[in-house]
Structure 1
């Protein structure tokens, strides 16, 4: 006899995710779930995004890590509300974790919540958090072959941020091959080349996110 434990876990998660989604819609808060590998530049991308949008929107961040609160402290130092979730070994965030985290936030006075998911390209794709969009970050040093190796995360993402583009020549990153591979998996997903620590290319990405926030607020 084979017992499938995955589906009951996902079913429970999805029910709670729908409750989260209804709450976020009621409060007109756009929730962005960022997926990426460790070292891809998630936190630096979040900081660059905050810098681009903070004069227009009230922003909070939920930080997901197996351990530590290093990233949450970096966000908090910028005057942004940050809630740390430590999974204690779990490789992804789940919808009940997000609900407990948002209970610590003032949703009535927020426009955008950025969730920094646990760093990996597999597990987080299966778990709906109630987010408005999943977006993945790939950094140039990781290589242009990642769509071939991890197709699920590219298919699940509504947009893709290609970070550290200032290192393309160093790592011989084939941008055309990368774009062709992404187009095969998810032709509707825009790709935003950025260098987050330098602020390069962030405006185009921020404009995409701004449009999504406005669409929710006007719904």
Structure 2
């Protein structure tokens, strides 16, 4: 008997729950929510999305995997529908304001597992005093001018969804060097769509500006907040974006 995918089966609603979930997930893949080759959200997020158990999601993924519509490796499940592969966007350096060149002797970046600033905790939905991964970045030109300092706090969602970030918890001593310049690539690789909002404010009586970046995912869940202070007397902030053409 020929195998029939859930998408092709008009009687899918009469099938077990996992089959109906597989059909709904396949419809979303056909709609382009995950491009060919793109990584699917994790089982827990899919279970929340469809309102079912993780075991049901696991069975649904097995159905699509058997029909060659998904491929799975150690990083998760990926859409295997025919079509052009997902295009990689131009890398966006982390943190906001990081100089585009490779790290130099004047650059310093560390991570600590500690309670974030109160305003960061509020923005990330963390209980006050609850520790999280906090990244600190400092950079200055050879003559000491153009100093930049940034403090970033990551949310519980980011640490749960992005394996590369979660690994830093055990070595977040606040002293050892920790360059996270690919943090946004890691987030995108985990299936998160990044929505960022930057607020730039001149600081009174100084030549510096403060930039606050808030990043959410496609479900409006906070991922990180960064506060950057830049000595703007001899420096400039440059933001570079690449947007795909419509259609």
The TM-score range, normalised by the shorter chain, is under 0.3
Question: Higher helix share goes to which structure?
Answer: 1
Q: TM-score, normalization: structure 2?
A: 0.24
Q: Which has the higher strand share?
A: 2
Normalising by structure 1, what TM-score?
0.26
Larger RCO of the pair (alpha carbons < 8 Å, separation 6+): 1
